[in-house]
Amino acid sequence: MSDVSLDEERGAIRGGWKQNPAAVQSNILAVAMSEFADRGLSGARMDEIAAKTRTSKRMIYYYFGDKEGLYLRVLEEAYRKVREGEQKLDLEHLSPVEALTRVVEFTFDHHSKNPDFIRIVMIENIHHGAYLEQSDVIRTLNAGAIEKLETICRRGKEAGLFRDDVEPLELHWQISALSFFNVSNRATFSRIFGDRLYRPKGQETLRRHAVELILNFALLSQARHSPL
């Protein structure tokens, strides 16, 4: 990186910032997430990312290799955040219905509060999942999400609450679809139909109905009308 000036390299410490590898990388990833979400992989510029971090362009290259390497790490961290949130739900002590309810509520809330995650996933779909395919980390993280639903489904079926044909992967698809669309199409949907559903009361209603839709899909017909 001979084109990086000594002044820029010295800029790795700004305003009293002490070099801490984990903190530096976390700061870079947070800034890069916003830039990639706003501008896409092709539109984001390393100079712009570096200018908004507390470190230097040279350090970004040192930690992440190049822009594509940085983008892949951003993608991995985006998935890591949502999966770590799921792990904290402590579902093992809940009934199958309560556990599934918590998963739906968490997913809806996470996506609503993290629109950059949705944009990054949309950008990766534009790239046909090419970068995601390179990551063993993302495959491992997302396998855990399906395993969690497998446990919930097994317990629900054993308790006579869930339909025998409820399949964890399809359940994950349904939950993701409801939660993802709420964010991914917010701009177009609200401009066409108004923003009523995106006001606090509308979001609360959508969240509650998302839970009801998923439970109605998973539960046996008799269980829907019985106290759980």
pLDDT tens-place string over residues 208-221 = 999 999 999 999 87
Both structure tokens of 183:
């964010």
Q: Return the bridge partners of 162, or none.
A: 219
Both structure tokens of 131:
């970068």
Domain 1-65 annotated CATH 1.10.10.60: yes
The class (CATH top level) of 75-224 is mainly alpha
Reported as type and span, the H/E element at residue 202 is helix 200-218
Please state the pTM of the whole predicted model: 0.86
If we measure between CA atoms, which residue out of 53, 51, 69 comes closest to residue 61? 69
Query: What does the domain layout of the chain look like in residue ranges?
Result: 1-65, 75-224
CB 97 within 8 A of CB 219: yes
Residue 183: what pLDDT? 98
Residue 166 CB contacts under 8 Å (≥ 6 apart), including other chains = 153, 156, 157, 217, 218
DSSP conformational letter for 133: G
Residue 120: what pLDDT? 97
Residue 100: what pLDDT? 98
Query: Helices marked H in 44-95 — which ranges?
Result: 46-52, 57-64, 67-87
Same fold, 1-65 and 75-224: no
Tens digit of pLDDT for each residue in 101-151? 999 999 999 999 999 999 999 999 999 999 999 999 999 999 989 999 999
Rounded CA-CA distance 155/82 in Å is 23
Low pLDDT (below 70) residues in the chain = 1-19, 222-228
Helix axes 67-87, 136-158, angle to 10 degrees: 20
Rounded CA-CA distance 175/103 in Å is 8
